[in-house]
């Protein structure tokens, strides 16, 4: 019985050992397979990760390039904006200058119109004076032997005769014109009369030209008799 039990125990041990070896062998094969699968997975994952990293590097490079392009474009846009602002400022300045120039031209036009009106009024007044002088000249020519001539410098020359009884043809004369202030101005008397300046002031005050001519003739007459 002991031998049978030992034989049975030995048999049981052998069976357990065989099963154990079989189990260990299958597990080892499975571990080796898992290890190889894991290595392949790691390799594939590493390759994919490498490709992904390269793609991301290219994307980063492209992003940086786009960013640089945007910076350059922003710089160009800012420069054009600054140039446009300067151009707008110059146009605004030119517009203000044009407005000032237009205003000055309008002022000059108004001033010219006023001066033209003043000159026209002065010319009209001068024409009226000349008409009166001419009328007086015609009157005095017949009665007093007075002749009036227009000479250089827009002057009128007044020539008296019939003053000297011994030589009635002898001329006594002076010149007259209107100065810039539109006042009577007497000059070139022959023979010279000291009182001619006083007569000039009186006719400027009174504007009585007939009395002025009468006084000049009297002065020439007095000079002859003296």
Q: What are the extents of the domains in the chain?
A: 128-225
Q: What is the pLDDT of residue 30?
A: 64
Q: What is the pLDDT of residue 2?
A: 64
Q: What is the pLDDT of residue 77?
A: 86
Strand order across the 184-190 sheet:
146-151, 155-160, 172-178, 184-190
Do the beta carbons of residue 6 and residue 13 sit within 8 Å?
Answer: no
Single out the residue of 127, 173, 131, 124 nearest to residue 149, CA to CA. 173
Q: What is the pLDDT of residue 222?
A: 93
Buried b (16+ CB within 10 A) or exposed e, 153-177: eeebbbebbbbbeeeeeebbbbbbe
CATH superfamily of 128-225: Chromosome segregation protein Spc25 (3.30.457.50)
Q: What is the pLDDT of residue 46?
A: 77
How long is the chain?
226
Q: What is the pLDDT of residue 204?
A: 93
Tens-binned pLDDT, residue by residue, of the chain (226 aa) = 666 777 777 787 788 878 777 776 666 666 666 677 767 777 777 787 788 778 888 888 888 888 888 888 888 888 888 888 888 888 888 888 888 888 889 888 888 888 888 878 877 876 787 777 677 666 666 666 788 888 887 899 999 999 999 999 999 999 999 888 889 999 889 999 999 999 999 999 999 988 999 999 999 999 998 8
């Amino acid at each position: 019985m002991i031998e049978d039990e030992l034989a049975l125990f030995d048999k049981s041990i052998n069976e357990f050992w065989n099963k154990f070896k079989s189990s260990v062998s299958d597990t080892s094969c499975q571990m080796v397979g898992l290890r190889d699968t894991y290595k392949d997975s790691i390799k594939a994952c590493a390759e994919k990760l490498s490709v992904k990293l390269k793609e991301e590097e290219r994307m980063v490079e492209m992003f940086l390039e786009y960013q640089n392009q945007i910076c350059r474009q922003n710089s160009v846009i800012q420069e054009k904006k600054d140039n446009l602002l300067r151009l707008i400022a110059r146009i605004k300045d030119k517009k203000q200058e044009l407005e000032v120039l237009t205003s000055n031209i309008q002022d000059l036009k108004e001033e010219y119109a006023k001066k033209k009106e003043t000159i026209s009024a002065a010319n009209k007044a001068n024409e009226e004076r000349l008409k009166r002088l001419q009328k007086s000249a015609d009157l005095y020519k017949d009665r007093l032997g007075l002749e009036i001539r227009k000479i250089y410098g827009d002057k009128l020359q007044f020539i008296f005769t019939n003053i000297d009884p011994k030589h009635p043809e002898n001329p006594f004369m002076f010149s007259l014109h209107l100065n810039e202030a539109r006042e009577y101005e007497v000059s070139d008397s022959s023979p010279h009369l000291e009182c001619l300046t006083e007569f000039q002031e009186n006719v400027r005050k009174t504007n009585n030209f007939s009395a002025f001519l009468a006084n000049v003739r009297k002065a020439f007459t007095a000079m002859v008799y003296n």
